[in-house]
Structure formats: structure tokens, C-alpha cells
Amino acid sequence: MSEEKKKVTRRAFLVESSAIVGATAITGGAAADQASQPARATPPRFTSPSGSVIPFGERELMATGTVRSFTGAQLGEIAFPLGGIGTGTVSLGGRGDFRDWEIFNRPNKGKALPFTFVALWARHAGSNETPTVKVVEAPLQPPFRGGDGVPRNRAQGLPRLRGAKFTGAYPFATIDFEDDSLPVTVSLEAFNPFVPLAADDSSLPVAIFRYRLTNRTQAPVEAALAFSILNAVGYDGRTMLDENVFEGFGRNLTRLRREGPAAGLDLTSDKYEADSVRAGSMALVTTHPDISARTAWEGGQWWDSFQKWFDEYAATGTLHDSHAPEPTPDGTSNYATLAPRVTLAPGESRDIRFVLAWYFPLRENYWNKEPEVKGWKLRNDYGNRFKSAWEVAAHTVSQLDRLERDTRAFHESLMASTLPSAALDAVSSQMSIIRTNTCLLLEGRQFFAFEGNNDDSGCCPMNCTHVWNYEQALAHLFPDLERSMRMTDFTVNLLDDGAMAFRTLVPVGRATWKFKPAADGQMGCILKLYREWQLSGDEAFLRQLWPQAKRALEYAWHHWDADRDGVMEGEQHNTYDIEFYGPNTMMGTLYLGALLAGERMARAMGDTAAADSYRQVFESGRVKLDQQLWGKGFYVQHVPDPKTIKVDEVEHRETWYASAVTAAGIKYQYGEGCLSDQLLGQWFAEVVGLGHLLPADHVHETLKSIYTYNFKHDFFDHPNTQRIYALNDEKGLLLCSWPNGNRPALPFVYSDEVWTGIEYQVAAHLIYEGMVAEGLAVTKAVRDRYDGQRRNPWNEVECGNHYARALSSWSLLTALSGYHYSAPLGRLAFAPRLNASDFRCFFTTGSGWGTYRQAIGRPEATASVELTRGTLTLKELGVEGFGGSVSTATVNGRPVTARSQSAGAIQFDPPVALNAGDTLNVRLRRA
């Protein structure tokens, strides 16, 4: 959240009729009664090896391999985003509906394109039976709101299929529809290409739908799927559209086109010049050969238009234009329908694929008020790669098999990991953030990001250093995009004095954002730079940024750690949008981590003097921080007497007292509280392989305390005047608690809240510290809150939707697998925390990705690295817990030289160079 807004902007309106996103399959009084009398059975629980109470069944918590499915009421909140990086998305609703049309360069929660839906037509071939027409969605669910009845502009009045089971494993969503009354069964798989390291393939403005129709009868069946869509060119991306009337519409023209294997609708308008943000196009194509289409629905009064559409389709299963397409009058658009048709032999299945593409290449900076950037038009990266939505669609169709194969390879590698289901779900689902409107990909592959999304605007622009501190997914999946953020941090936002603007004004280079720097964000950027170097091995990149990184790190000595003792005492603005005063381990560990990373980078750069001084300050700080702040099982904050705060240490000294100080002391501190983020820098250090910054036993005990004190098993009796992310019977991790009392009258402003990004951070850290059950419990608590009925599993919220902090969930993968990678060292290592004897996981490096497997038996253990894409040069494979000597080492069956000098490490000399498709296999004889 931005500190500019000291009052939280509340989402005033919910923008989706609940009638559409309602609850269960057919619920009525019976279901309601069930719900009103919750079973009061004793909830499952067990005690972890560390002695913690875990409020889940152990088997359930540790189970691997299951992917969540959703039915009934759980379908209500599901909105599975389909789109590429920086392209925006349209979401597939749990019922099969299309919702949240966010393809127009801004968020658009709860708003749908009118009369954009898919309707099945079916009857037995050659029969006289009345054809069935049903919208390919599960039924609407209560509540059925609306002063004029349930809204009708998504064809809500037409029959629907009787039920659906939604299974989502990002980037694939699958819906198995149920309807016994039809001669065909229907299923749907939807996705957008997502291939790690392949940003181009992963940033296509398309949504791909594959409907599968299966004849369940003994006789041939004729069937059709009519995909209707509003030609929405000219839409502003945020107004609630009732029908096809909107000021931005006009001269909308839809044509039927064929090009190679693609046939379908080219939806255009020539109302706008190319330099308008409204200019663009849409396309809906199918690879199916037998189609009919209507490029414009007929007009009429009242509901004539829809009725005539229905009558034509219902009668024949086909649609045809009554006259040649014409541009629409100003202020209106029209609907079009593409209707592939099949005849299915008894038992036959056929797939009908649709590619929905969009092309809105320009966006406007609506989010900044700074005159240097306000209103500037920004070009999406895809806008330089393509010229129209039709071109995007044709490209996608031409590459579809490859794109799907690569995406599926990644998906299968990830989802086949032997990680517990909740963790895998957290990793997988939250990757989607990268592809929502939280993130931008501008021309030249410049990656920018908000913190999250309000319902129709980005929230808290841009590249916020402290929120993006928690993110680990982009860094590992698309490290080149992540590096573009570092370029921005260090070449755009670093001021002469070494302070880093912690937000970015886009387009860059025109102005710098004006505010005090964030202590956590700035130190985090040093750690991130270290990570990017380790992942990429790109020494030139490091060399380019090193001088700035040095200034950024040393800025601490002019401000936060003026006495250069390795402990920050000054005014530390941070991710809670307030300032901490005095020593605390949240900023303290980030600072120690930055010093240590700084030392390593300095040495690599040959800057020994800097390296030595960082080491010296680090050594001082690690001791002092522990000595000063270690309390009763965790670290506390030393809040200074406000009178001791020096004038030059705070902004606006003259007004500071009035706003920041009460009789009880400085407001918005945590003091003796147990802060969930208190070892944030330590967590980052684990992720990037820097090891313990503070005494190991204290780190371990602190994590256990955080779990014990901050992880609530329910929220029934939790009074919270702040924002609300968990309630009732939900479980969640508080940002802070005061188990030893002395809660400040007005503690820091988010202290009583629950943030998923911090929960994943702590969960991963618990796992790094061996408290796997605790970490998984925290993880499962989050995912249970996002259960489809309560909240959308693909949209974790904090200050906005698709909030970037949740990208910390990637660290669950690194923690559970014990993954570390250093390109400079040519070292890839794993240390599974669970299922180590028969383990499998997905991994990435800066140059390639694939699957790691290990099996530990007697007398032999094996480890294999299967590289699916890219290249990978290994000098060492770290395998924790493996004793023994190498018996064989092969790549694709051909021997390579390997030895095991010490337990847990296999060296390759010469290095092994793997290419896509190669598998490195090592067998060890165990001692």
C-alpha cells in the first residue's frame, strides 16, 4: 500500500452481479440448512516434530500429487486469468463463464462483455427431435440479486448445463461439465502459453479454449458450439457495459476471415487513429474446418435481437448473416458469433479449439499525478511484435502445437513434483500474478509492476522495492524480465546521494518519484541484484550496476546506520507504510543480508576494500543485533524515546511530533511484539544461499515462536480495527502479536492483519528451518481461505487484487526442494525437506529448466537432472544427504566424468553441458 494514502481507499462497489458468481450447484433450503448447522466435530490436529500444534490432519497436510477441484458453491468466486505477461487477461469463471475482461490495459474486476458466451447445440443426426441449446456453463447460483431480476445480458435466461467440476493448475484450467440430459458430454481446457525463460511465448495476448464434445449415445449426434462475442473495440476497459451501447463504440465492423488453418471473426473498428489508446482489434478464430458465423446480430426493439439469434441457432445449429457486414453507428457496437459444427459417431470425441486474441497496443499512464509522466502513452511489448489481433491469432494458431507442448512440459514438470499439494498449489496459482494487470511488459521488454490492482486501476505504482522484496517467482521463471527491474532500480531510481526512489515513474527517465527511501526495499535490492547475478551468471550485468549498488548499500551509513555498526537505528520507512525507529531485526536482517551479498559481489568485482568493509560491518551487526534484540524466544524492537530522535533523522520535524507521537510514545511501532517479518532478511538470505545471518538457534526458536504466537487457528475472537483478510473459522498468520503483553496503544497500522505474502515468506522460512509441518500448515491456511467459495484461488488480495507480495510463494518450492543455484559457480543443489528418498521437483536456472529427481536407497542412490528447455552447464551437483562414491554418471546414457569428493556434492570436471532434452544421471554407491 502506498503511504501517500493515509486512509485506505475502500472498494465501494462490487462490480459483479452475485447472481452470476453465486454459490453452489443447485442449492436450496436443504443446503442452507446444512450450512446453518455446522458439524461441531473435533477438528483434526497433530503435534509436529518440533512440538507445535498443527490444526490439520497430518496425512492431509503432507499428501502430494492432488490438485484441487471445485464444485458447487466453490465455483462462485473462481476467476482463472487467461493472458500473457503484460497483455492483460480475461478470466474463466468457475462455472465456465468469461468474466473480468481485463484485456484493455487495466483491471476490470467484475465486468463482463455482454452476450459473450458459448452455447452448445445438439441433436441426434437426422432425427426430428427438438435440438437442445444450452449455454456451456454450470447454473447460476444464489443469491439472485437485481431489482429487475437477475441480469440477462450474459444470456442468463438460457438453459445451462447442470453442473461443473473445475480443476485449475495454472496455467491450465479444466472444466468437466455434467448434464445427463444431453447426448454429448462437454469438457473445456483453457490456457495461455507459459514457458519459463521464454518471455515471448509467454506474453501473447490470447486465451485458448479447447472444448471437447463426446457422443455418449449409440447414434450419431450433430452438435455445434456457438461462441458469441461483443466487438468491444473502443471500450474503455472499465465502464459497466449493459449491452452494445457505449460512447467509445462506433464503426465497429466484424468480418469472417480464413487464413491457413484459422477461420473466424476479425473484430475491428476504424473509429480511432493508431495513436489512440482505444485503437485496437480482437479476433476469435477456430481451427475447426466446418463453421457457420454471424458477423452481426440482427437489431430490433426490446429483446428482439437476442430472441432472433436464439431462434435461428436453436432451429438449425447454424448462423448466417442476413446482409453484408457494415460498420456500426457511433455509440454502438454489435455481437458476432462463430459456430463450429461437428457430427459425432457413437462414442466419438472431438475437440473444438478457439483462440481469442486481442490487440490494444497502447496504454496511458493514468496512475501517476506527476506531470512529467501523467497521461503518457506507453506501448505494450506485444504491440511491437504484432500489428493486429488477427495477426496474433494467426501466429498463435500456427504455433499452437509447440506452444501447448512447451507449456504442458513445464506444467507437468511442476505439478508432478513430490511436494505437498498445498505448497504446489501456492506456487502454481500465484505465478498467475505475473500475467495479470499487476504487471506490465512495455516495448523493449521493460517489465514494470504495480503492487496489485484495484478493481479498475493499478494500485501503487510502480516496481515498489519493498513489496517486490518478497517476490521470488519472476526472478526464477523469467530472470531476464526480473533483471529489467534491477536496471530500473539502479539506473533510474538511484539518486545522487545513494537514496533509491522506491517507486518508478513510467516512462522512465523523465522524472524520479519523490519520497523518502524505504529501508527494507533498498536493502532488498542489493539482495535481489545478488540473486540475479547468481541465477544468470551475467558478470557484465553486475559490472554495469555495481557502482550504483555500492552507493545504494552505503547510503545506509549516511542515514539508517549512521554509526556504521551494522545495526540500523534511524527512521526506517518500510513496507508497512510507516517508519520504524530504533533497532529491529526486520530491517536489521535485510541490512545484514545486503552487507553479505555486497561483500560477495564486491569480491567478484575485485573491489576488495568495499568487500572488507562490508564484512566488517556485517560482523559487527550480526552480533550487536542479536545482543540488543533477542527477547523471550524472539527478537523485539527497541523503540527510542521520541525526545531522542534527532531533527535530521525525521522528515518534517516540525509536524512530526503531532502526527507520530502520543503520550505512550512513538506511534505505529511494534516494540515487544512478535513480528512475523522479523527475519525477513534471513529468509531472503536462505533463498539466495547466504546462510544464517543470526545465531542458528535463535533463528530456529524465533520461527517457532512466530508460528506459535501468530498463527491463529480461527478468528472468531480476534478484534481487528484494521483491514480484514481472515475471519470466522479461517486460519492465518497475524503480522504481529504481543504474547508477553505491552501491546502499544496504537501499534503499526497493519499489525492485526493477515497477508498471504508474509505467510508464504514465513512458511518457507519455517521449512528452511526444518519445521515442515508448521510451514505447510501456514500455507494450507492461506489456500483454504482461497477456496473458491470464500475467495478466488487465483487472486490473493492485500492492498489490491493479484497482489505481488504473494509471489513469495515461489520460495516454498526452493525451501521444500532445498534448491540453490549459482551460475558463477556452475553449481545446482537440492536438499529435499520431505520425501527425500523418492523425490522429484521442477527447477529453473537462468539458462534452462527441467526436472530434478533423486532416489535414496541402499546400497545405491540416484540423482538426475532432466533439462527440458535451454542449456545448463554444471560443475557441481549438490545432493544433501547423499554419501557415497559415484558409480556411474551419464548424459543421455553416455558416460561423463564425475566424482564425489565430499558428501553431498558431485563434481564434474570437465563441466557437463546440458542441452534441452538432455538428462544427467548419477548413481552413487552409499557407504
Cis bond before residue 325 (omega within 30° of 0): no
Alpha carbons 625 and 589: distance in angstroms, whole number: 9
**Minimum Å distance from CB 540 to its own copies?**
40
723 binds its own copies (CB under 8 A): yes
Q: Cβ 9 to its own copies, closest distance in Å? A: 7
C-alpha torsion angle, residues 510, 515, 516, 517 (rounded to 10): -50
Of 216, 385, 638, 718, the one binding its own copies by CB under 8 A: 718
Nearer to its own copies, 211 or 306 (CB): 306
Q: Which stretch binds its own copies (CB under 8 A): 70-78, 79-87, 223-231, 584-592?
A: 70-78
**Is residue 697 at the binding interface for its own copies, with CB under 8 A as the rule?**
no
Residues 179-218 that bind its own copies (CB under 8 A): 181
Q: Considering the complex, what minimum distance in angstroms separates the CB of residue 797 from its own copies? A: 5
Distance CA 537, CA 762 (A): 28
Cell numbers linked to 543? 559490472
Residue 10 CB burial class (10 angstroms; 0-12, 13-18, ≥19): exposed
Q: How far is the CB of 25 from its own copies (least distance, A)?
A: 5
> Can residue 171 be called a binding residue for its own copies (CB under 8 A)?
no
**Is 251 a residue that touches its own copies (CB under 8 A)?**
no
Q: Give the residues across from 459 on adjacent strands.
A: 452
Q: In 3-state terms, what secondary structure has residue 267?
A: strand
Q: Using CA atoms, how far apart are residues 184 and 216, in angstroms rounded to an integer? A: 5
How large is the greatest C-alpha to C-alpha distance in the chain, in angstroms?
91
What residues from 299 to 318 belong to the interface with its own copies (CB under 8 A)? Answer: 300-304, 306-308, 310-311, 314
Cβ atoms < 10 Å from Cβ of 153: 18
Alpha-carbon span 647 to 922, nearest angstrom = 63
Within residues 774-813, the interface with its own copies by CB under 8 A covers 784-785, 787-791, 797-801
Query: Measuring CA to CA, which residue among 279, 375, 374, 267 is closest to residue 327?
Result: 267
What is the Cα–Cα distance from 248 to 238, expressed in whole angstroms? 12
**Does residue 729 belong to the site contacting its own copies (CB under 8 A)?**
yes
659 touches its own copies by CB under 8 A: yes
- Name the residue nearer to its own copies (CB basis): 328 or 613: 328
* Using rule CB under 8 A, residue 29 touches its own copies: yes
Q: Judging by beta carbons within 10 Å of its beta carbon (0-12, 13-18, 19+), is residue 348 exposed, middle or buried? A: middle
Q: Minimum Å distance from CB 307 to its own copies? A: 4
Q: How many residues bind its own copies (CB under 8 A)?
A: 112
665 is a contact residue toward its own copies (CB under 8 A):
no
Asked if 204 contacts 184 with a C-beta cutoff of 8 angstroms, the reply is no
Q: 189, 455, 571, 599: which one contacts its own copies (CB under 8 A)?
A: 455
- The Cα–Cα gap between 642 and 630 comes to 22
- Which residues lie closer than 8 Å to 217 by C-beta, 6 or more apart? 124, 183, 346
Instruction: Candidates 37, 128, 218, 902: give the one binding its own copies (CB under 8 A).
Output: 37
Residue 841, helix vs strand vs coil:
strand
Is residue 742 part of the contact set for its own copies (CB under 8 A)?
Answer: no
Q: Which is nearer to its own copies, 13 or 275 (CB)?
A: 13
| Cβ atoms 471, 28 nearer than 8 A | no
Using CA atoms, how far apart are residues 373 and 149, in angstroms rounded to an integer? Answer: 45
Interaction pattern, residues 260-299, with its own copies; x per rule: CB under 8 A: ----------------------------------------
| CA-wise closest residue to 862 among 850, 874, 879, 875 | 879
Residues 746-765 that bind its own copies (CB under 8 A): 746, 749, 752-753
Q: Does residue 242 interact with its own copies by CB under 8 A?
A: yes
CB of 24 to its own copies, least distance (A): 3
One-letter amino acid of 218: Q
Binder among 722, 740, 862, 919 for its own copies (CB under 8 A): 722
Q: Which residues share a beta bridge with 925?
A: 860, 885
- By CB under 8 A, residue 661 contacts its own copies: no
Min CB(638)–its own copies separation in Å = 23
Site string for its own copies, 72-101 (x = CB under 8 A): xxx-xx------------------------
Per CB under 8 A, contacts with its own copies among 435-454 are: 452-454
Q: Report CA-CA distances (Å) from 267 to 70, 238, 761.
A: 34, 19, 44
- Residue type, position 272, single letter: Y
Stretch near its own copies under the rule CB under 8 A, chosen from 27-35, 228-236, 262-270, 771-779: 27-35
Assess 724 for contact with its own copies (CB under 8 A): yes
Polymer length in residues for the chain: 927
- Alpha-carbon distances of 73 from 661, 714, 920, rounded to whole Å: 48, 22, 46
List the grid coordinates of 197: 525463460
Is 77 or 866 the residue whose CB approaches its own copies more closely? 77
Based on CB atoms, which residue is closest to its own copies, 627 or 728? 728
**Using rule CB under 8 A, residue 894 touches its own copies:** no
Least CB distance to its own copies at residue 21 (A):
7
For residues 757 and 805, is the Cβ–Cβ distance under 8 A?
A: yes
Looking at the Cβ atoms of 147 and 444, the one nearer to its own copies is 147
Q: In whole angstroms, how close is the CB of 802 to its own copies at the nearest point?
A: 9
Rounded-to-integer distance, Cα 129 and Cα 123, Å:
7
**Does the footprint of its own copies cover residue 7 (CB under 8 A)?**
yes
Q: How far is CA 527 from CA 292, 498, 619, 693, in A?
A: 57, 16, 17, 13
Q: What letter does residue 426 receive in the DSSP assignment? A: H
- Closer residue to its own copies (CB): 531 or 667: 667
Cβ proximity of 764 and 590 under 8 Å: no
Contact with its own copies (CB under 8 A) among 60, 62, 124, 157: 157
Minimum Å gap between C-beta 109 and its own copies is 7
Residue 887 sits in the site that holds its own copies (CB under 8 A)? no
Place of cell 438460457: 158
CB of 893 to its own copies, least distance (A): 47
Q: Centre a 10 Å sphere on the Cβ of residue 254 and count the other Cβ atoms it contains.
A: 33
User: Of 5-13, 199-207, 507-515, 881-889, which segment contacts its own copies by CB under 8 A?
Assistant: 5-13
**DSSP class of residue 9?**
P
Does 725 engage in binding with its own copies (CB under 8 A)? yes
Q: By C-beta, is 140 or 400 nearer to its own copies?
A: 140
Residue 741 is a binding residue for its own copies (CB under 8 A): no
Tell me if 496 contacts its own copies by CB under 8 A.
no
Least distance (Å) from its own copies to the CB of residue 663? Answer: 12
Which value, in Å, is the radius of gyration of the alpha carbons in the chain? 28
Minimum Å distance from CB 39 to its own copies?
6
Choice between 603 and 790, CB closer to its own copies: 790
Comparison of 260 and 741: residue with beta carbon closer to its own copies: 741
In whole angstroms, the minimum distance from the beta carbon of 54 to its own copies comes to: 18
CA distance 116 to 153: 9
Pairing of strands 117-124, 132-135: antiparallel
Taking CB under 8 A as the criterion, which residues in 115-154 touch its own copies?
A: 133, 139-140, 142-153
Binding to its own copies by residue 721, rule CB under 8 A? yes
Cell of 830: 537440492
Q: How far apart are CA 407 and CA 413, in angstroms?
A: 10
- Going by the DSSP 8-state scheme, the letter that residue 202 receives in this structure is T
**Shortest distance, position 155 Cβ to its own copies, whole Å:** 8
919 binds its own copies (CB under 8 A): no
Write each residue from 897 to 916 as x if it is in contact with its own copies (CB under 8 A), else as -, in one continuous string.
Answer: --------------------
Residue 38 engages its own copies in binding (rule: CB under 8 A): yes
